[in-house]
Amino acid sequence: MVKMLRVDRRLIHGQIAFSWTAYLNVDCILVANDDAAGDDIRMTTLRLAKPKNTKLIIKSIDDSIAAFKSGKTDKYKIMIVVENVDDAYRLAKEVDDIQVINLGNVKARDDSKPYKGDQSVNLTKEDQIRLNELMTLGKSVEIRMVPNDGIKRFKMDI
């Protein structure tokens, strides 16, 4: 069962390891990232940052989709972490079990701007279109850094 998909450029860090895993009561974190899945040093670093007693899986986006479709993930309560909106979109379009997309820390790029003044969430026009499309599919898109923060619902701002 997917509890939440979080977009966070940092992947695993203190907010994920302590706040979100406890709040969501997950027993598995899936880092879905093409670069990390092919980088032994990055995988080692992510393993060091994971919380004790929580399984960590690091897969490419395509391999993550295949794992969900095969049923291999059914026995876990999973939090998925991706680095950007593009990866979140690819996963959420293909995996019906993903119902909540959380925007936590979206990296600024040349063609992005802070979403409604929030310096931690920087979106391009294309990001907003994709998030809006996911909402039309029944997915919830929220913005919050940690569980105690009030939920801000995403609404297209272009």
13 included as an active-site residue = yes
Which whole-number Å values give the CA distances from 137 to 5, 66, 95, 149, in the listed order?
15, 20, 11, 26
Tokens of 139: 């997915």
What is the Cα–Cα distance from 8 to 83, expressed in whole angstroms? 5
Q: Which of 13, 42, 77, 144 is catalytic?
A: 13
Looking up tokens 């959380």 gives 102
Q: Amino acid letter at 127?
A: D
Tokens of 32: 């879905």
Under 8 Å CB-to-CB from 150, ≥6 apart: which residues?
Answer: 144
What is the Cα–Cα distance from 150 to 148, expressed in whole angstroms? 6
Q: Would you name the residues annotated as active-site residues?
A: 13
